[in-house]
Amino acid sequence: MGTPCYVGIASPHQPHLIHARYVHFDGYPSSLLARLRGIWAGVARRDTNALTGAVLAHDWAYLDPEVTATTTYGPGGIPTQRPVPGVGMTLGTLEPDGFEPVTVFPLSLAADLGASWIYVIDPASDTVAVYTGDGEPAAVHPLAPIPIAAHPLQPLVRNGFSPTTANTSARRTPTPGQGDAGRPRPCRPPAGRCRRTR
C-alpha cells in the first residue's frame, strides 16, 4: 500500500483552508513524522518556514531526508521524477511547463481527497498537526525532539548518600596476601533483614 497523504500548511487568513502537497508513499504517522523531523533538522536547518517551502515545492513520490542528488527512483520510475537532496523524490508532472499546482482544500472536505492522513505544519509553534483522512484531528507533534525527563527512579543524593558512591568508602584494596578476607560481603537480605558480616 502506498499510504498516500497530504502535507502542507493552513492559510494564514483562512485557517480552515489547507495548502498541501500530495505524498504517495509512507504517509503513516510513525514514518512521515520522523521524515519531516529529519528534513527540518537537516536541509531546513530547524527553520519551519524553510521546511514548508521545501515540502510545498512539489508533489512527492516520497519524502526522505536521506535522498541525495544521485538517488534513483528505481524500476518503473517516471522520467520526470527527480531527487531533491535532503527532502525526497518528486512525483513528477505531466504539465508541459513543469508547473505543479498546490492542492487547496478545507479540512471539512478532506475525505474527498482519498488520502489516509493529512499533516498541517505550523511554523509559529514548530509543530505538525495530524488529521485522519476524513479531516478529524488525531494529534499534534513537535518538530523538535522532546527532551527525556528525569526518570522518576534516578538516584537521589540525600545526606551525602548517592547510589553511585554507595559502598565505595567501605571498599578496601586488599594488601598483598590478604585475599578477599578484608572485603565487605554484599548485603543480601534473606527474609526482609539485612546483616552485614565482616
Q: What is the pLDDT of residues 138-165, one digit of tens each?
A: 999 999 977 655 445 444 444 444 444 4
Summarised one tens digit per residue, pLDDT across range 46-95 is 999 999 999 999 999 999 999 999 988 765 666 778 899 999 999 876 55
135, 111 in Cβ contact below 8 A?
A: yes
pLDDT in tens, 128-141: 999 999 999 999 99
Is the model more confident about 175 or about 7? 7
Tell me which residue of 34, 51, 53 sits closest to 43, measured CA to CA. 51
Determine what percent of the chain is predicted with pLDDT higher than 90. Answer: 58
Residue 67: which of 49, 50, 87, 95 has the closest Cα?
A: 87
> Which of the pair, 193 or 143, is modelled with greater confidence?
143
Query: What confidence score (pLDDT) does residue 118 get?
Result: 97
CB 43 within 8 A of CB 155: no
CA dist 150 and 169 (Å) reads 27
What pLDDT, on a 0 to 100 scale, did the predictor assign at position 72?
84
